[in-house]
Amino acid sequence: MQHSRPIRTFITIILLTIIGLSQTSAQKLIRDFSIGRKNFVDTIKIKMWNGAIIIPVEIDGKIKNLMFDTGANTGFWIGEEEDWMAPSGDSTTTVDSQNKRKKTAIMKIPSMKIGSLTITDYPLVVADGLSDYTCGIIDGALGFDFAVKGISFKFDTKDSLMIVTDRKRFFVKEEKGHLKVKYKHYSKPDPKVWVQFPFVRAKLDFDSGYIGGWFSLPQHLLDIWAKENPQIKQQLDEMTMNVDTTVMTGAGLFGASLDSVVNGELHVPEIGLGDLVFKDVWISTATHKRLIGSAILEHTSLIIDAPKKSFVFLPHNGNYEITAANRGFGMSCILAEAGDTLGAVKVVVRNGTAAYEKGLRTGDYLISVNGVEIPDLCTYILLMRQGKVTNYIFRSPEGTVKEIELE
């Protein structure tokens, strides 16, 4: 499995792909689609992208790469509607990672194949605002509705394999000796698990569509905890390395956004998830959601035991202590405005971070990476997937060239 560490370590591109559906629509959608076999077990080769699970799915005679997104209530498609999509006649209100709401038509995939499994009438919504940030790496996503329907999975993220089954006790032997992390889903099939922070025990969404992310806590929630308990406030103050009002980038179902938010940067020495311990974790609080992201799946395989409503994490090489050391460079990349002749990709820089200290400022243009010119955002993202990036050249709006080396 190849790891794209530079995206996470140095440059942060926030890519949250969350769909929220109303309770009535979600439950109806879960009942509607069907799987053509019973009592099945299938093994399928998958791909990994910063911990995100990408499954090859045959649709309309072509292989499409669909991410398995535990943060999505059902499927979604990146791009415009296609001829093979069938209107369901229904619509729903979708809520994306930026808390944007929109009335969206529910489409269906009349037939798709995952390995030897045929799934009919699988529901999805069309997300036309993400293509600039996914760059053909994924075509869409499958949602957590498969698990709600009783389908279990093992994602071997080390060897890039997926086992999918409807047998209720199929993974019992593999689960033996491992602590099961129970999840709950309430009005929507989004799995929530308990996480132990040094300052509080909190319930977070496990969202494998939070690509390359570790843990996410919103600032307003930390403010509430601090107000309720002076001891928690003291712990948070000690762990807070930097606080400023800054512009943060986000990409959701309906496009990218720039939000001016209060951003606290926490350095948390230890976080517990079941029998897993994550050490040296950096958390940005410039978010609307409390999440666990896909980065943990670069270090551990995962069993989703649907009948037991539990996750079982199987750490690679048996290591139950995982060091994140995920402090970012402090820079996000966004598309420049249409018609901008100074550059195609601009940066957003947080105050007090390594990027800021090296002289970068919000609004600077990314010109080249390792000597390769950056004519669009996808060129940059695909370059970052190929290996370690060390040399960056930026240009300010006033024309100042800034060359930065990263170790």
pLDDT (tens digit per residue) in 24-77:
455 565 568 999 999 999 999 999 988 999 999 999 999 999 999 998 888 989
- Give me the pLDDT at residue 192, please: 93
**Maximum average pLDDT range among 29-33, 175-179, 380-384:** 175-179
Count of CB atoms situated within 10 Å of the CB of 292 = 27
Among candidates 290, 292, 285, which has minimal Cα distance to 219? Answer: 285
- By the 10 Å C-beta count (0-12 exposed, 13-18 middle, 19+ buried), 352 is classed as middle
Residue 12 predicted with pLDDT over 60: no
Residue 293 predicted with pLDDT over 90: yes
- Identify the DSSP state of 323: E
Whether 287 and 397 share a structural domain: no
Q: Which domain holds residue 399?
A: 331-405
CA distance 32 to 110: 11
**What ranges in 149-229 are assigned the alpha helix state H?**
172-175, 219-228
What the block records as the tokens of 164 is 């999918």
Query: Within 13 Å, how many C-alpha atoms sit on residue 210's CB side?
Result: 23
Whether 38 and 63 share a structural domain: yes
- Identify the DSSP state of 79: S
pLDDT-wise least confident of 7-21, 51-65, 144-158: 7-21
What the block records as the tokens of 233 is 């406030």
The CATH number covering residue 101 comes to 2.40.70.10
Residue 1 predicted with pLDDT over 90: no
- Give me the pLDDT at residue 15, please: 45
Of 304, 328, 352, the residue at which a domain comes to its end is: 328
Whether 104 and 226 share a structural domain: yes
To the nearest whole percent, how much of the chain has pLDDT over 90?
Answer: 55
Whether 254 and 397 share a structural domain: no
**Integer Rg of the chain from CA:** 21
Whether 225 and 344 share a structural domain: no
Count of domains for the chain: 2
Of 313, 328, 343, the residue at which a domain comes to its end is: 328
* Cα dihedral across residues 342, 345, 350, 355: positive or negative: negative
Higher model confidence: residue 286 or residue 362? Answer: 362
Residues 345-362: what's their mean pLDDT? 87
Whether 101 and 28 share a structural domain: yes
Whether 368 and 381 share a structural domain: yes
Q: What is the pTM of this model?
A: 0.88
Residues 287-292: what's their mean pLDDT? 87
Mean pLDDT for the chain overall: 85
Count of CB atoms situated within 10 Å of the CB of 31 = 10
- Give me the pLDDT at residue 383, please: 83
CA distance 407 to 389: 9
Of 328, 355, 374, the residue at which a domain comes to its end is: 328
> Which run of H or of E encompasses 168?
none
- Sorted by sequence, the CB contacts under 8 Å of residue 318 that are 6+ apart come out as none
3 state SS of 130: coil
CB-CB contact of 219 with 285 (8 Å): yes
CA distance 404 to 268: 28
pLDDT digits (tens, 9 = 90+) for 222-278: 999 999 999 999 999 999 987 777 666 666 666 666 666 667 789 999 999 999 999
Whether 216 and 319 share a structural domain: yes
- Give me the pLDDT at residue 147, please: 93
Whether 362 and 335 share a structural domain: yes
Count of CB atoms situated within 10 Å of the CB of 282 = 17
> Which residues on neighbouring strands pair with residue 366, listed in sequence order?
394
**Reported confidence tier of residue 327, pLDDT bands at 50, 70, 90:** confident
Among candidates 323, 326, 364, which has minimal Cα distance to 343? Answer: 364
- The residue behind tokens 């989004």 is 190
The CATH number covering residue 383 comes to 2.30.42
pLDDT digits (tens, 9 = 90+) for 92-140: 777 665 667 777 888 999 999 999 999 999 999 887 777 777 888 899 9
Whether 322 and 280 share a structural domain: yes
Alpha carbon 233 to chain centroid, angstroms: 29
Residue 193 predicted with pLDDT over 80: yes
CB-CB contact of 99 with 250 (8 Å): no
**Reported confidence tier of residue 18, pLDDT bands at 50, 70, 90:** very low
Residue 344 predicted with pLDDT over 50: yes
- The residue behind tokens 């669009």 is 376
Whether 249 and 359 share a structural domain: no
CB-CB contact of 85 with 105 (8 Å): no
Whether 322 and 337 share a structural domain: no
* Cα dihedral across residues 339, 13, 202, 238: positive or negative: negative
